[in-house]
Amino acid sequence: MNKKKLNTKSLDLILSKMIDTVGTSKDEIFRIGEQCRKDHLTLSDELKEVKELVKKSIIVGDKLESQTRLARNRLSEVSAHFNDHTEAEVREAYEKAHRLQMEYSMNMQLEKQLRDRRDDIERRLVGLHETIERAEHLISQITIVMNYLMSDLQQVGEMLEDARMKQEFGLKIIEAQEEERKRLSREIHDGPAQMMANVMMRSDLIERVFNEQGGVEAIKEIRDLKKMVRNALYEVRRIIYDLRPMALDDLGLVPTLKKYLQTTEEYHKTIKIHFLNLKEEKRLQTKYEVALFRLIQESVQNALKHADAAEIIVKLEIDHSKVIAVIKDDGVGFDIQEKKKDSFGLIGMRERVEMLEGQLIVDSKVGKGTVVIIQIPLNL
């Protein structure tokens, strides 16, 4: 029997509709998660204020309790020696004891209300935190599905007979990519997003400081705010370089690599990264520049994550017929014969190199560091 060829355009259309539907669901879950984050931030601020009010109420309560006790003692003394005091003194002692007792009772009631409000906010914060975590988990799962649908499996063509192998390999690559995306997501959440939230809080604080303490103190707060904004900008730029440096399209591979490696070294601080361009600085076709940047980036990130290295050396050589990149670290190394479950990054690198008809060599020994050699022919 002759196998009928599948209409790939129809398949792509079906996949496109599926992706749109899944994407809409992902966006809705994302909006729910973001709203929960905003509510969490608002309640956290309110919780701080309520705790401060509880503290103040306790201090006031202790003071009123002491004053009330003294006033009662005074009233008892006046009552015991009624004939020795004027009517005005007796009335004053009674009114003062009564007033302080009322103030003390009202303060106790206020303290109880504040404590109840504090406990309620803390319970709501726990619930919001659980909702945020569930939303993040769902988004992560949906992203895996979307990446699978948007992967090269859309362009099945004449390779459908290898579909099962494609799926298994594709899922491994997607899982590795998703881990990287989760890392970037967490970096954005813990870095720029948190900094921006702090900027909003500090901006409100500046206004309060200006009103309560004057311009000099407000200017100090503004200086601190500028530092926070500068740090947030640095984090954003670093993350952009992780995603895709804009300079790659404008300046080319060599200047972009220099900047990326310099930024990476500045961020990690404890590691030295050296870049050597051994031949001319020339532009390549976009597919080569993007692939080489990603391959070198993945190699450097592997060294940073797993090698515990003190030094990384990146060498690049471009001539008229080929590109050779060498990434070497002095880290702990590994046994290349041992297959690890989390080695999908290396699988993805091999796949990318093979697509460009190149060669990837990884040489490593335990305790001896790692050398990655990438050689790609230029079909110009």
What is the pLDDT confidence band of residue 112, given thresholds at 50, 70 and 90? very high
Nearest to 299 by CA among 352, 251, 337: 352
Rg, the chain, Cα only: 33
The string of pLDDT tens digits covering residues 26-38 is: 788 888 888 888 8
Tell me the C-alpha distance between 207 and 214, whole Å: 10
Q: Is the pLDDT of residue 1 over 50?
A: no
The string of pLDDT tens digits covering residues 293-305 is: 989 988 998 888 8
Is 157 in contact with 8 (CB distance < 8 Å)?
yes
Amino acid identity of residue 189, one-letter, is: H
Q: Which residue has the tokens 């961020």?
A: 267
Angstrom distances, CA of residue 332 to CA of 133, 202, 272, 367, 373 = 35, 44, 16, 4, 18
pLDDT the model gives residue 161: 44
What is the pLDDT confidence band of residue 237, given thresholds at 50, 70 and 90? low
Mean pLDDT to the nearest integer, 21-27: 79
pLDDT the model gives residue 158: 44
Mean pLDDT to the nearest integer, 175-180: 63
Mean pLDDT to the nearest integer, 17-42: 83
Q: Is the pLDDT of residue 56 over 70?
A: yes
Residue 314 backbone phi and psi in degrees, to 5: -120, 120
The string of pLDDT tens digits covering residues 335-368 is: 877 765 545 567 778 888 888 889 999 998 888 8
Tell me the C-alpha distance between 263 and 257, whole Å: 10
pLDDT the model gives residue 344: 53
Mean pLDDT to the nearest integer, 321-340: 85
Q: Is the pLDDT of residue 315 over 90?
A: yes
pTM: 0.44
Surface-to-core class of residue 204, CB atoms within 10 Å of its CB (0-12 exposed, 13-18 middle, 19+ buried):
exposed
Mean pLDDT to the nearest integer, 104-119: 91
Is 370 in contact with 329 (CB distance < 8 Å)?
yes
Q: Which domains, and CATH codes, for the chain?
A: 11-150 (1.10.287.2610), 252-377 (3.30.565.10)
Query: Quick count: other Cβ atoms within 10 Å of Cβ 269?
Result: 6
Tell me the C-alpha distance between 128 and 122, whole Å: 10
